[in-house]
Amino acid sequence: MALPRKLMVDGEHTVATTRTHIKVLFIPFVILLLVALLEGYVQAKVDGEVDAAVRWILFGVAVVLVFFGTLLPFARWFAWTYTLTNKRIVEQKGLLTRTGRVIPLSRINDVAFEKNLSDRILGCGTLIIHDASDQAGLQLKDIPRIEAFHRTVSNLVFEQHGKTASDESV
């Protein structure tokens, strides 16, 4: 779900679009498995004497648990994107109400990343972007392939500031 062309300015193109790492869907997946196993077990154990309404109520409870525990978190994950263009970085999120934050690359002062042990194992991390405003820095959590994304953002920021990455290391 890249940034729509109608939201881009003249001469702007998408460099990268990403979501948070798929690891955020681990708990919803476990919930799905547990609810499915438990529902199957309960339906098999409930003998034929029990009213059909009780079976439907149990099934309804399972459906509600799957919806709120699995489908809703997946939809939130799918709708939350980070788009890097040659002029700005855009965070968009929300299902019914879309919100977003835009930081022009020319206003970015600092780009850093953090990785804890599990992030290092999974190859993701948090990108922290500070700009020339009074707002707190933008934290892009659980970005896959964080080093490559960090390098791409840094190079684009250097280009916006009229420098190259090799000029900065001197």
Whether 1 is in a domain gets the answer: no
* Whether 99 and 64 share a structural domain: no
Q: Which of 32-36, 99-103, 130-134, 155-159 is the least confident region? A: 130-134
Confidence label for 92 from pLDDT (cuts 50, 70 and 90): confident
Looking at beta carbons, which pairs linking 118-127 to residues 24 or more positions away fall under 8 Å?
Answer: 118/23, 119/146, 122/21, 122/23, 123/21, 124/20, 124/21, 124/23, 127/153
Record the tokens describing residue 73, joined without a space: 């978190």
Give the pLDDT score at 170: 44
Q: What is the pTM of this model?
A: 0.74
One domain for residues 66 and 149: no
Number of independent structural domains in the chain: 2
Q: What is the mean pLDDT of residues 77-94?
A: 87
Asked if residue 4 belongs to a domain, the reply is no
pLDDT tens-digit series, residues 18-61 = 888 888 899 999 999 999 999 888 888 776 666 777 788 888 99
Structural domain ending residue among the three candidates 76, 97, 118: 76
Which range marks the domain in which residue 138 is found?
Answer: 12-21+81-169
